[in-house]
Amino acid sequence: MTARPIAVVGASAAGLAAAEALRRGGWRGPLTLIGDEPHLPYDRPPLSKQLLHGAWEPDRLLLRTEEQLAPLGLDLRLGTRATGLDVATRTLTLDDGERLGCAGVIIATGVTARTLPGADRIAGVHTLRTLDEALALRARLGAPGRRLVIVGNGVLGCEAAAVARQLGHEVTLVGIEETPMAAAVGTEVGELLAEEHRARGVRLLTGAVDGFETAPAAPDGSAPQVTAVRLANGGTPASEGVAAGGGGGSRLPADLVLLAIGSRPAVEWLADPALDTTDGLRCDAYCAAAPGIYAAGDVARWDHPVHGRPLRFEHRMNATEQGMAAARNLLAELTATAAATGAAEDTPAPERRPFAPVPYFWSDQYDLKLQAYGLTAGADRVEATVLDRAERRVLALYGRDGHAVGVLAAGLPPREMRALRAVIATPLPWEEARELIGSATAAG
């Protein structure tokens, strides 16, 4: 009888890390890696930066070449989508109708880009989540003097705005929040970013998109071309610090539109009632969603043992670390089960370990590099210190329930960044953390 495989669903950074960790951890059975895109696993952060700019080509994004993947002995299913999972039998259903019974499953399907109604039927309206989407937008930005409207002033929208301005295009950045990236980094740091974008020529507006205007449909039946973005109730310059209101709408001429309005976890295919798919796939501290079913990366919402609540991170570093942790814990579970049933040698099984990372993310915009450790979103207290406004050097501490839980900096040397990480690796009382932060940066 053929051994049942372990299946990793999602040929992503998290999925690849899981597959490699399974082999390193001793799994010698069949190993299936399933990806809905036709591409080998690639790195996503450069999509909105180096690839969109044209400084990198797609082959530079590959996490592994075919030759590097060969020793893993993968049953590689690219261009294949998982459409269902029976938790009790650990059986995957694939889009070609195949049912794949598995010894274990690691879900690393990530997230999908949010869009607006009807946007997929308009030429020139883009999202930016996959390699193909990034290449399509890059091709359109290859012509000079484009008028680009970016809807959404979060991390992705700000990074794409920076690239487009560096390429010489006219850029308008529209968000429902008054301050760019405020949800991720707080108002004070967001205002500093806003200053940099304005100084580089980006027009910042606050408002909600009401729809699109298009040119008349072509006789050949191709999609109509976008010509403008309509804002509901006007569209107030973000520099005024006032939300849009009153007015009857305004029109932003556009040759191109990028929708950067967030993402949603790719869990729509997980209909088994044994799974909780509220804001991602709910897992315990070991990244387990059910016996033999684990998750990693952007799709996983797991109990963080240090912060004491379920968290979900859309950060590149977390994807790799969690993929390895999920693989290690799945192998420990399978080994323990086999030993208990007499199907394996009577040797001590490895223990599962809680996944307790110190979150890390970064964002590159123009000459700025923001780096953050811990939790910056959802803070109830933020203390930001502008060290040098002209150089955009800033240091911010983020708190929750009286404890410091995150820190962000721009313009600090690597040694000081490592010291900041140590301060918030475990949440400390606010005042104690403030003192340590001051000591860590005293020489800077």
Over 50: is that where the pLDDT of 2 sits?
yes
What is the model's pLDDT at position 417?
86
pLDDT, average across residues 228-248:
56
Tell me what percent of the residues of the chain surpass a pLDDT of 90: 84
155 near 132, Cβ under 8 Å?
Answer: no
Selection from 256, 99, 228 nearest residue 171 by Cα = 256
What is the model's pLDDT at position 344?
58
Fold of 367-440: Enolase-like; domain 1 (3.30.390)
Looking at domain 115-261, its CATH class is alpha beta
Higher-confidence residue of 391 and 173: namely 173
What is the model's pLDDT at position 340?
77
Q: Lay out the sheet containing 31-35: strands in order across.
A: 74-78, 31-35, 6-9, 104-107, 293-295, 288-290
Over 80: is that where the pLDDT of 378 sits?
yes
What is the model's pLDDT at position 360?
94
Over 50: is that where the pLDDT of 240 sits?
no
Over 70: is that where the pLDDT of 139 sits?
yes
| CATH no., domain 6-112+264-340 | 3.50.50.60
pLDDT in tens, 30-58: 999 999 999 999 999 999 999 999 999 99
Average model confidence (pLDDT) for the chain? 92
Taking CA 278 as the corner, what is the angle to CA 330 and CA 327, rounded to the nearest 5 degrees?
Answer: 15
pLDDT in tens, 182-193: 999 999 999 999
What is the model's pLDDT at position 418?
86
Radius of gyration of the chain (CA): 23
Over 90: is that where the pLDDT of 316 sits?
yes
Neighbouring residues of 211: CB distance < 8 A, sequence distance ≥ 6 = 118, 229, 230
- Same topology, domains 115-261 and 367-440? Answer is no
Phi-psi region of 378 (alpha: psi -120 to 50; beta: other; left: phi over 0): left
pLDDT in tens, 99-127: 999 999 999 999 999 999 999 999 999 99
Q: Which residues of 393-404 are buried (b: 16+ CB within 10 A; e: fewer)?
A: bbbbbbbbeebb
What is the model's pLDDT at position 276?
98
Q: Which of 185-189, 356-360, 387-391, 403-407 has the lowest mean pLDDT?
A: 387-391
Bridge partners, residue 384, by sequence: 396
Q: Where do the structural domains in the chain lie, given as residue ranges? A: 6-112+264-340, 115-261, 367-440
Q: Where are the beta strands (DSSP E) in 48-129?
A: 74-78, 82-86, 91-94, 99-101, 104-107, 111-113, 125-126
Six-digit token string for 276: 């909780």
What is the model's pLDDT at position 246?
33
What is the model's pLDDT at position 350?
82
